[in-house]
Amino acid sequence: MAKSNLKIPKVCEQCEQPFEAKTVATRFCSPYCANKSGRERKKRAKETELKQTLLEKSIDKIADIQTRPYISITEATILFGISKDTIRRLILAGKIPAFNLGQRLTRISRLHMEAMFSTVDLPEAPEEEPIRIHYEINECYKIGEVSEKFGVSPSTVNKIIRRYGIPRRQIGKFVYVPKEQIDKLF
């Protein structure tokens, strides 16, 4: 490969230090950084593979847990993704019925756990009429007018406009907002 006299300023992907690269494809400042990056990449790939195999192994266990009426605290942590301490606190508070069948043999009702951690269906919001984006100037307030009319500072008006997504239009040094939406809001 031909060597060029170019000195391309770059930042090392590993140590994030600036250096001068001799080729466009150079990614690291030194062989040490290149090797370290390779080791970290292999480590991440190995961890990902380990997580995938663990998930594949636990699929059968989760399917088995879902068929039994009473499960252990450890199985509940796997099934619902909450800590053992949280489950024990709920048992002590009396929110989850539990049965102690011996040392380390506490069983809890899966149905009670599912009822406690079930998803809540939120009612769908009714569709709103589409908002007109282009308002005429006579249908709008200036920011100063809004602050005077409702007795709030201009910065508060700007925060509220951003928070509620009210369309605004700047003409020259004045910012206009639609009267109907401001009146509904205030």
pLDDT on residue 104: 77
CA 120 – CA 43 distance, rounded (Å): 39
Cβ atoms of residues 45 and 37 within 8 Å: no
For 156, the token pair is: 């508060």
pTM above 0.85, yes or no: no
Please state at what angle helix 143-150 crosses helix 154-164, rounded to 10 degrees: 110
Q: pLDDT digit string (tens) for 158-167?
A: 888 888 888 8
pLDDT on residue 34: 92
Does the structure show a pLDDT above 70 at 3? Answer: no
Q: pLDDT digit string (tens) for 104-120?
A: 788 998 888 888 876 55
The correct CATH number of 137-185 out of 2.30.110.10, 3.30.70.3040, 3.40.50.10490, 1.10.10.10 is: 1.10.10.10
Break the chain into its structural domains and give their ranges: 8-53, 66-116, 137-185
pLDDT on residue 25: 84
CATH number of 66-116: 1.10.10
* Average pLDDT in the chain: 84
Does the structure show a pLDDT above 70 at 101? Answer: yes
